[in-house]
Amino acid sequence: MSDKVYIFDTTLRDGEQSAGIGFTKEDKLEIARQLARLNVDIIEAGFPASSPGDLEAVSLIAREVKGPIITGLARAVNPDIEAAWEAVRHAETPRIHVFLSSSDIHMAHQLRKNKEDVIEMARNGVARAKSYVSDVEFSPMDASRSDPEFVYQLLAAAIEEGATTINIPDTVGYAVPSEFGKLIANIRANVPGIEKVRISVHCHNDLGMATSNSLAGVQNGARQVEGAINGIGERAGNTSLEEVIMAIATRGDALGVHTNVNTRELYHTSRLVERLSGMAVQWNKAIVGKNAFRHSSGIHQDGVLKMRETYEIMDPKAVGVPTGSSIVLTKVSGRHGLRARLDDLGVQVTDEEFERVFNAFKDVADRKDEVDDRDLEAILGEQTSMEVAEAWKLDLVQVSTSDHGSPTATVRLVGPDGQTHEDAAIGSGPVDAIYRAINRVTNLHNELTEFSVKSVTEGIDAQGEVTIRIEADGGSYVGRAADTDILVASARAYLHALNRFVQASQLAVPA
């Protein structure tokens, strides 16, 4: 039997550190539940000391999600470790992940500590964490740019204090596979007590080698790989877990290892993270990209039609990619047809959610010849990804514009009082006019910081999916909506963000 590689998912911690991402605690819980269905071994749910909100989110996941180990990140200082313990203490299987810089550049310019001080901090941090939990992970940050002899000393000290997992980070994506693999091999050969712990790798993708470096670590004895779904994370991102998982599943013969991941959940997990993060997956992304299992060349098409394996090294169904559907959804399709297609996509919704999705589907189908899977994903993303109380609802939006003169928008909203409120505004463009009119009605002060629109499908009748971000009262709120009328989608996305702001304001605890 081959060795098992443990899959450590950091989508909710390092993944959330991507510029432009800000998960709510509800987002994080939804993703964590899906990661449990994916059957990852460890979920790094967040960095509890970073904010009260993150501590609350990690604690919620620890209470609600069963199966995977739940871990919180902590610097090697007592307040961080105590916050991590407070967050994970109710987990079925808790872990505390302690990290500390080890490279000369980090010690000199970030920590302002010498090597002796850093070793002492590592000892104290691991020992403190060990007093709370039996499972402690230790990471020497920037290990790939550190003095190897110092790394050996630091790891030996952590193991002496009770660390059970030793993680080797390529924090800035500097290593190449040959040297990273050699680093892991040398750690196994030179660190006293290393045979008693599991070696982990955590690689970043600054040079595009995160997956290769992670697999080089596995080939040299690492038995835990850390990464994020879709490769999201700091700067150029983390190791893409779906790539590592399917590389092991596909080339287990060469790597000599296996995972216990339910690979059929990969596609759905990827789409969920894409929706909630607002970060689109590139079409040619390995494993989960739109084009990963599509064939354009005539030669490729001919080969795949005769025998799929001629140009596909993985069965798309093994990744959970929906293919071969015989159901074509149009405006004459009923509930049974839509329910069957959602089942094929692996989507589970409550009866109440289904009615909302069905009504939205009918609205789109009235304006399109065919509603395909990407349309359904856009509908699902808007209808089921986030439960937000609608303080303000769109009743009407009307825009007048031309190439001579300023665009004018009229909006009619149903307010928290149940009454309709109407106003109009002039803007520099039609969307600006809509947003100005909405602001006049709601009197909610905010700053629009991001606006993006993409076509969900091809053709003149395609849905447009709008994602926006606003800042208000020191918070950041994302809104999303899809419609065949891009101006309607823009108005609904803006109201979605405003309603999230209203909900957050109502739930805020006074200082």
Cβ atoms of 448 and 472 within 8 Å: the answer is: no
pLDDT confidence band for 294 (50 / 70 / 90): low
Reported as a single tens digit per residue, the pLDDT across 229-243 is 999 999 999 999 999
Q: Which two tokens stand for residue 303?
A: 């080969």
**pLDDT at 323 > cutoff 80:** no
CATH tag, 3-277: 3.20.20.70
Is pLDDT at 509 greater than 60 in this prediction?
no
Q: What are phi and psi of 72, to 5 degrees?
A: -120, 145
- 393-507: CATH superfamily: Alpha-isopropylmalate synthase LeuA, regulatory domain (3.30.160.270)
Domain boundaries, the chain: 3-277, 298-384, 393-507
Mean pLDDT calculated for residue range 335-340: 76
Q: How many angstroms separate the CA atoms of 224 and 338, rounded?
A: 40
Question: How confident is the model over 329-339, as a mean pLDDT?
Answer: 74
pLDDT tens-digit map of 419-462? 999 999 999 999 999 999 999 999 999 999 989 888 776 677 67
Residue 350, class by beta-carbon neighbours within 10 Å (0-12 exposed, 13-18 middle, 19+ buried)? exposed
State the pLDDT at residue 302: 62
Residue 20 has pLDDT above 70, yes or no: yes
Candidate from 25-34, 205-214, 343-352, 406-415 with smallest mean pLDDT:
343-352
| pLDDT higher than threshold 90 for residue 372 | no
pLDDT for 108 = 82
pTM of the model: 0.73
Q: Quickly tell me which residue has 């009262």 as its tokens.
A: 473
Identify the band that residue 131 occupies on the pLDDT scale cut at 50, 70 and 90.
Answer: very high
Residue pair 375/457 in contact (Cβ under 8 Å)? The answer is yes
In this prediction, residues 85-105 reach a mean pLDDT of 95
Q: Which residues contact 239 (CB under 8 A, 6 or more apart)?
A: 202, 203, 204, 205, 210, 211, 213, 214, 225, 226, 227, 228, 231
Write down the pLDDT at residue 12: 98
Asked if pLDDT for residue 171 goes beyond 80, the answer is yes
CA distances from 66 to 35, 38, 41, 60, 62 (A): 11, 12, 11, 12, 8
**Spatial separation of the C-alpha atoms in residues 105 and 481, rounded to whole Å:** 45
Asked if pLDDT for residue 378 goes beyond 80, the answer is: no
- Looking at residue 503, what is its pLDDT? 82
Helix (H) or strand (E) holding 425: strand 420-426
Residue-level pLDDT at 339: 82
Confidence at 22, pLDDT banded by 50, 70, 90? confident
pLDDT of residue 296: 52
Structure tokens at 343: 């089942």
Query: 71 with 83: CB under 8 angstroms?
Result: no
pLDDT in tens, 459-505: 776 778 898 989 988 888 888 888 888 999 999 999 999 998 888 77
User: Strands 464-472 and 475-483, how do they pair?
Assistant: antiparallel
Per cent of the chain over pLDDT 90 is 65
What does the block give as tokens for 362? 């009918």
For range 134-155, the mean pLDDT: 96
Cα–Cα distance measured from residue 215 to residue 244, given in angstroms and rounded to the nearest whole number: 7
104 burial (CB, 10 Å; 0-12 / 13-18 / 19+) is middle
Q: Are 96 and 88 in contact (CB under 8 A)?
A: yes
Residue by residue, DSSP assigns 56-79 as HHHHHHHHH--SSEEEEEEESSHH
CB 202 within 8 A of CB 170: yes
pLDDT of residue 154 exceeding 80, the answer is: yes
Average pLDDT over residues 379-385: 65
Q: What is the mean pLDDT of the chain?
A: 89
Mean pLDDT on 362-381? 75
Burial 120-148 (b: 16+ CB within 10 A, else e): ebbbbbbbbbbebbebbbbbbbbbbbbee
| Amino acid sitting at position 343 | D
Q: What is the DSSP string of 146-211?
A: S-HHHHHHHHHHHHHTT-SEEEEEETTS---HHHHHHHHHHHHHHSTTGGGSEEEEEEB-TTS-HH
Q: Which of 61-65, 325-329, 385-389 has the lowest mean pLDDT?
A: 325-329
Pairwise CA distance, residues 127 & 108, whole Å = 24
Cβ atoms of 241 and 259 closer than 8 Å: no
CA distances from 306 to 294, 295, 318, 321, 468 (A): 15, 13, 20, 20, 45
pLDDT score, position 390? 80
The whole-number average pLDDT for the span 195-206 is 97
> What is the structure's pLDDT at 385?
46
Mean pLDDT of 355-367: 82
User: For the residues 335-351, what does the mean pLDDT come to?
Assistant: 76
